[in-house]
Amino acid sequence: MSRMTRREWLARPAIASALGGVLTAASSTAKTASNALTPRERIRARHFPNVPLRTHDGKAVRFYDDLIKGRIVTINVMYATCEGICPSITANLVKVQKLLGTRVGRDIFMYSITIKPKEDTPSVLRDYITTHGIGPGWTYVTGEADDVELLRRKLGFTNPNPKLDQDTSQHIGNVRYGNEPLMLWAACPAQADPEWIVKSISWVIRPEPRTTISPTKGAST
């Protein structure tokens, strides 16, 4: 091993100092960039990865850009061959869809994400929709296994027990709902009373502004 010269030895503190300055600057830049994000952007970055997905119609979409951004939504996870809670959850959410009526697909968008994407191809999901009498405005999505798993975790459909979390038959039976522009998000049991779920969803919907009519033409409404 060659011996270090005196000049090289004296230069080491300067190199370390310079490197430390670069790392500090990089850390500061990253922190500044994070602080520059709006609250809505921070929520999006933390919880809504813009992963590529495919709908039951075979359409390629991005999770945030095409499904979530600017919308009021409901989200749940499922898989087509589930013999546990999935059938009862689906039947209950069908009742929710009917109660919401024509607002689904217009004002409110319903999404179900399969947690067995390799088995649940778009054609399998289409059959599932037909079998369960699911109407328009409720989209089922599949994708690459890693992307779907990332979504499941970011959206909070996880079990605190690691062993149970890896058991797909024990998946979380919640429905998450929210108003993305207003940054209002919550969740409730997907098997709760359908009318109560609809009322819960209404809490994240901004009321329509009231129209004030000129006193000379009539009273305020």
Whether the pLDDT of residue 23 is over 90: the answer is no
User: Mean pLDDT across the stretch 105-125?
Assistant: 97
pLDDT higher at 158 or 101 = 101
Which of 36-45, 92-101, 141-150, 159-168 is predicted with the least confidence, judged by mean pLDDT? 159-168
2-6, 59-63, 215-219: which is most confident: 59-63
User: Mean pLDDT across the stretch 153-167?
Assistant: 83
Residue 34: is it exposed, middle or buried by C-beta count within 10 angstroms (0-12/13-18/19+)? exposed
pLDDT of residue 164: 76
Give the CATH architecture of domain 44-202: 3-Layer(aba) Sandwich (3.40)
Query: What is the DSSP code string of 34-85?
Result: HHHS-HHHHHHHHH----EEEETT--EEEIIIIIITT-EEEEEEE-TT--SS
Domain boundaries, the chain: 44-202
Q: What percent of the chain has pLDDT over 90?
A: 67
pLDDT of residue 162: 81
